Structure 1
Amino acid sequence: AGNPERYTEELKNAGLTVFHVVPSLGAAKKAVACGVDGLVVEGGEGGGFKNPREVASMVLLPLVRSQVDVPIIAAGGFVDGRSMAAAFALGAEGVQMGTRMVSAVESPVHENWKNAVIQAKETDTVFLNRHASPALRALRTKKTSRLEYDTETNAMTEFGTALDLYFGGDMEASIALSGQVCGRIDAVRPVAEIIAEVRDQFFQEIGRLAADYLP
C-alpha cells in the first residue's frame, strides 16, 4: 500500500517480488506503471485502512482485471472456497483472507477479539473517517459506534492504545479492524484446517459450476 513510486524499484533490485495493495483502478494503473509484479486488489468490504471512496470487490476486481496484465490477489470479502471461486471468476489468481486469519487459532491477538469476530453479524462493522484520511473499517464497539457518524472527529486521534486491544483484550482500548466477512466466520480454527477447507470447497464449487452449466 502507499505510494508505489517510493520503494518498488529498490525492492525489486534486491530480488524481491512486489505486490502492491490498491483500492481503485487509478491506483492499480499507477502501481503497474511503477513496475510492480502484481496487485492485491482490495474491495471496500475488507477490514483495515481504506480508501474513503470505497468500491466493492464485485465491481473493482473485474474492472482492474480488464485493464492490467499482472497477477491479481483479491482481498476484501473472501473467506472460503465459494468466495475464492467467485474471485477467480472475476479475474484473480489468488485471495487474501485477513479477517479470517486474524481470528485463527495461531493469530497472536487476544481471544476477546477473536470471539468478537465470530459473534459478529454481517452488519457489525463500521466504516470510519470517510471525511478524513485514512478511512478504516472496524468491528462495531461502543467506541466505533460513537465515531461512525462523527464528521468532526478524525478517528485516528481516537485510535487509543492498540497493544491493550491486541494483546490485553480491551475491546474499547483501540479500534479492532475487521472486514464484513466477520458475519461469515463462526469458529476459531487452526490455519491448516482453514486452508484445507478453502481449497477443497474451491474445487468443489468450480466442479459444480462446470457440471451444471457446461454443455
Structure 2
Amino acid sequence: MYSEEQNKITKLFEIQYPIIQGGMIWHSGWRLASAVSNCGGLGLIGAGSMYPDILRENIQKCKAATDKPFGVNVPMLYPNLEEIINIILEEGVKIVFTSAGNPKTYTETLKKEGLKVAHVVSSAKFALKCEEAGVDAVVAEGFEAGGHNGREETTTFCLIPNVRKHISTPLIAAGGIALGSQMKAAMILGADGVQIGSRFAATEEASAHDNWKQKIAELREGDTQLTLKELAPVRMVKNKFFQEIDQLYENGRNVENLKATLGRARAKRGMFEGDLEEGELEIGQVSSLIEEVLPVQKVFENLLKEFRETECPDF
C-alpha cells in the first residue's frame, strides 16, 4: 500500500509527492514546470518544441522561479540532440526524462555526470531494455495518452501490472490519469508514482494558447483518436485537420501523402498559436474528465484530496 512517507519516486527525485508533470511540447515551459515543482511534484520543461537557445532560457528562468527539483524532457527523435544534452549539462539540470528513442543513447553519459534518468516506454519489452540501460526510473505510458504514443495500443490498466511483473526499477504510470482516484488505481496496480500530462495542459501556467486550453475543457468522450501509425502514432482531437488525415486513409495508406498533409509546424499552429481547425491538437482520452482551466496549485489540491478520499470497497 502506498505511503506518502515511504515512496521510491519521492526519494529518487527528492520531491514531496510522486506526481510528475508531462514534458509536453508547446505546453511545458518554465512557468508550468516551476509551478508543479513549487507544489511538491516534479516539473518538466518540454525540450521537444524548443530551439536550443529557448531551452537554455527556460532552464535559467525555471531555476530562478523555484528552488525545488525540476527536470527536462528530451524526445530523442528531434534534431540538435547533442546540443540539447550539452545545454542540460552546462545549466546544471539534475533530472532528465528521455523518450522516443533508445535509452542506451545518453543514459550512461548523463548518469556519469550525476543526473537521474527516466525513460518513457509503451511495453514491458522496452521497459526491460530501460532496466538493462541503467535508467533510474521507467515511465510506462498507456494507449490513452495524448501526443505520440506506442504502436501496441496497450492500455494503462494492462500495461502497468505487466511492466511491474518484469522490472524492479521504480515505475511511473502515465496515460489516462487526471484524477486522484486514477492516481491511486495506478499505484495499486504497481506504479510508484504517476506522470500527468493532459490535466496540466489545461492550467493557467501552461504555455499553450488560451483557445486550446479552453477547447480541452470542452472535449468529450470519443473526441480524440490515435492516428498516423505509419509515421509516428499520435493521439489528437478530431478537428478539420484530423478529418483531412482521415480522408487520406479512405483513399489509401500513402505515406508520402500523409507526410505532405502533415506538413511542418502543425502542432505549433494548433496548440501554441490557437488554430483549432487547421492545427494539430494533441491530448489524451482523459480530457473528457477535464472541465475547466485551473491554476496548478488547485490541480494539486484536487489530486491530493481525491487520492486521500478514495477507498477500495470490500465485497
Task: Determine if the TM-score, normalized by the shorter chain, exceeds 0.5.
Answer: yes
Instruction: Tell me how far apart the structure 1 counterparts of residues 269 and 244 of structure 2 sit (CA, whole Å).
Output: 19
Q: How does 1:189-200 map to 2 (within 5 A)?
A: 189-200=294-305
Instruction: Tell me how far apart the structure 2 counterparts of residues 85 and 70 of structure 1 sit (CA, whole Å).
Output: 19
Aligned residues: 209
Aligned-residue offset at 1:166: 3.0
Aligned-residue offset at 1:114: 0.9
Instruction: Tell me how far apart the structure 1 counterparts of residues 130 and 170 of structure 2 sit (CA, whole Å).
Output: 12
Instruction: Tell me how far apart the structure 1 counterparts of residues 246 and 226 of structure 2 sit (CA, whole Å).
Output: 7
Residue of structure 1 equivalent to 2:201: 102
TM-score, normalisation: structure 1: 0.91
Residue of structure 2 equivalent to 1:134: 232
Q: How does 1:1-215 map to 2 (within 5 A)?
A: 1=99, 2-130=101-229, 132-148=230-246, 150=249, 151-153=253-255, 155-157=258-260, 158-161=262-265, 162-205=267-310, 208-209=311-312, 212-213=313-314
Instruction: Tell me how far apart the structure 1 counterparts of residues 284 and 263 of structure 2 sit (CA, whole Å).
Output: 17
Instruction: Tell me how far apart the structure 1 counterparts of residues 297 and 263 of structure 2 sit (CA, whole Å).
Output: 32
Q: Residues 122-180 of structure 1, C-alpha deviation per residue, up to 9 Å, x if partnerless?
A: 200021112x1311101111111331362324655415423332332112343111100
1:74 aligned counterpart, secondary structure: strand
Aligned-residue offset at 1:89: 0.9
Identify which of structures 1 and 2 has the higher relative contact order when contacts are C-alpha pairs closer than 8 Å and 6+ apart.
1
Instruction: Tell me how far apart the structure 2 counterparts of residues 167 and 62 of structure 1 sit (CA, whole Å).
Output: 35
Instruction: Tell me how far apart the structure 1 counterparts of residues 166 and 175 of structure 2 sit (CA, whole Å).
Output: 20
TM-score, normalisation: structure 2: 0.63
Instruction: Tell me how far apart the structure 2 counterparts of residues 156 and 198 of structure 1 sit (CA, whole Å).
Output: 39
Aligned-residue offset at 1:94: 1.1
Unmatched tracts of structure 2, length 5 or more: 1-98
2:226 aligned counterpart, secondary structure: strand
Instruction: Tell me how far apart the structure 2 counterparts of residues 125 and 171 of structure 1 sit (CA, whole Å).
Output: 13
Q: Residues 56-81 of structure 1, C-alpha deviation per residue, up to 9 Å, x if partnerless?
A: 00100000001100111110000010
Q: Which range moves more in the overlay, 140-149 or 176-185?
A: 140-149
Residues 22 and 156 of structure 1: is their aligned pair in 2 closer, same or farther, counting only changes over 3 Å?
Answer: farther
What is the CA RMSD across the aligned residues, in angstroms? 1.7
Instruction: Tell me how far apart the structure 1 counterparts of residues 289 and 225 of structure 2 sit (CA, whole Å).
Output: 16
